[in-house]
C-alpha cells in the first residue's frame, strides 16, 4: 500500500519466517493501519536477525513499533498507546456472559420460530434458560480442575465437599439438556433447584453479606466476570425454571 500525502508513519519490526509468523505482529500491523498509519513493515527473517534486533534495542520480545522515532513497544503497549486496555490487563469484563446469553436468546427464538411458528412464546423463556445452562456448563467442562478451584472460593457446598466442584458442571449441562428435550423433568428440575438454590445463597453471602470481591466461575475457571448480580441472576433463573417445570408435572 502506497503512502498517502501527510499520512502518519509507523515502523514495525516483526518476525516473518517460513517456520514462524508472529500473530502479535500481524495484530500490531492491523491496528496501526486501522488508526490511519502507513506501516513501514520490517520483517525479521531469522531467529538470529531477531536476536540481533532485540539486543540492539535492549528489548526482550518482538514485535516492536516505533512512532516518530519513539519506541512504543509490543502489541499490548501499542493498544495502550491508542487508549485501549489490552485483554491480558483487563481484569474485569462481562463480555463472555453477554455473548453466552445473547447466543442462548437467539437460539431460543430460532427454536420457537421453527417449531411453533412464532417468534416468542412462554416456551421461548424455557428454551432460553435451558440453552443458557448447557452453554454455561460447557464453559465449565473445558477445564474442570480450574473451575473447581475458583468455585471453591465462594460455593458453600463445595467448601464442605470439594468433589462437588467437579460434579456441578455435569448437573448443570445435563439438566439443561433434559429440560431442552422436555424429558425426565422429575430428575432435571429437582437437581436444578438444588444446585441453583445453594448457588444463589452462596453468591448472596459472599458478595452482599461478607462483601468479598471475587471472580465468578460461571463461565469457567479463567473467568474475569465479577461475582455479583450476574451470578446471582443466573442462579435465580435456574431456580425459577426448576419451580416452573415442577409445577407442570
227 pLDDT tier (thresholds 50, 70, 90): confident
In a domain, 211, yes or no: yes
23 and 141 in a single domain? The answer is no
41 and 117 in a single domain? The answer is no
96 and 215 in a single domain? The answer is yes
218 pLDDT tier (thresholds 50, 70, 90): confident
In a domain, 19, yes or no: yes
Is residue 88 over pLDDT 80? no
Structurally, the chain folds into a number of domains equal to 2
Is residue 12 over pLDDT 80? yes
In a domain, 3, yes or no: no
57 and 97 in a single domain? The answer is no
223 and 241 in a single domain? The answer is yes
1 pLDDT tier (thresholds 50, 70, 90): low
Q: Domain end: 20, 54, 88, which one?
A: 88
Non-local (6+) Cβ contacts of 208 within 8 A are: none
Distance CA 183, CA 174 (A): 11
| Pairing label, strands 9-15, 70-73 | unpaired
32 and 43 in a single domain? The answer is yes
In a domain, 159, yes or no: yes
Q: Domain end: 28, 62, 88, which one?
A: 88
59 and 180 in a single domain? The answer is no
19 and 113 in a single domain? The answer is no
Residue from 243, 210, 242, 216 nearest 229 by CA = 216
In a domain, 220, yes or no: yes
Is residue 185 over pLDDT 70? yes
Q: How buried is residue 7: exposed, middle or buried, by Cβ count under 10 Å (0-12/13-18/19+)?
A: exposed
234 and 118 in a single domain? The answer is yes
Q: How many CA atoms lie within 13 A of 64 on its CB side?
A: 17
Domain residues for the domain of 119 are 91-247
In a domain, 2, yes or no: no
Q: What is the DSSP string of the chain?
A: -PPPTT--EEEEEEEB-SS-B-HHHHHHHHHHHHTTPEEEEEEE-SHHHHHHHHHHHT-SSS-EEEETTEEEESHHHHHHHTT---GGG-----HHHHHHHHHHHHHHHHHHHHHTSSS--HHHHHHHHHHHHHHHHHHHHTTHHHHHHHHTTT-HHHHH-TTHHHHHHHHHHHHHHHHHHT--HHHHHHHHHHHHHHHHHHHHIIIIIS----B-GGG-TT--PBSSHHHHHHHHHHHHHHHHHHHT-
CATH number at residue 28: 3.40.30.10
Amino acid at each position: 500500500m502506497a503512502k498517502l500525502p501527510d499520512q502518519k508513519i509507523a515502523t514495525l519490526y516483526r518476525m516473518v519466517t517460513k517456520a514462524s509468523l508472529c500473530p502479535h505482529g500481524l495484530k500490531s500491523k492491523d491496528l496501526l493501519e486501522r488508526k490511519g498509519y502507513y506501516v513501514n513493515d520490517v520483517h525479521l527473517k531469522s531467529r538470529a536477525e531477531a536476536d540481533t534486533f532485540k539486543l540492539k534495542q535492549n528489548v526482550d520480545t518482538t514485535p516492536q513499533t516505533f512512532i516518530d522515532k519513539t519506541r512504543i513497544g509490543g502489541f499490548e503497549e501499542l493498544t495502550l498507546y491508542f487508549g485501549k486496555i489490552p485483554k491480558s490487563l483487563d481484569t474485569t469484563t462481562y463480555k463472555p456472559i453477554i455473548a453466552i446469553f445473547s447466543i442462548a436468546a437467539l437460539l431460543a427464538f430460532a427454536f420457537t420460530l421453527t417449531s411453533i411458528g412464532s417468534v416468542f412464546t412462554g416456551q421461548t423463556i424455557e428454551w432460553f434458560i435451558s440453552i443458557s445452562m448447557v452453554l454455561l456448563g460447557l464453559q465449565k467442562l473445558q477445564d474442570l480442575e480450574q473451575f473447581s478451584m475458583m468455585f471453591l472460593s465462594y460455593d458453600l457446598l463445595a467448601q464442605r465437599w470439594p468433589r462437588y466442584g467437579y460434579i456441578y458442571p455435569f448437573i448443570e449441562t445435563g439438566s439443561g439438556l433434559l429440560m431442552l428435550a422436555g424429558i425426565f423433568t422429575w430428575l432435571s428440575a429437582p437437581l436444578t433447584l438444588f444446585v441453583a438454590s445453594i448457588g444463589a445463597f452462596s453468591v448472596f453471602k459472599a458478595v452482599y453479606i461478607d462483601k468479598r470481591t471475587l471472580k465468578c466461575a460461571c463461565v469457567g475457571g479463567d473467568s474475569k466476570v465479577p461475582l455479583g448480580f450476574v451470578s446471582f441472576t443466573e442462579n435465580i433463573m435456574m431456580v425459577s425454571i426448576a419451580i416452573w417445570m415442577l409445577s407442570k408435572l
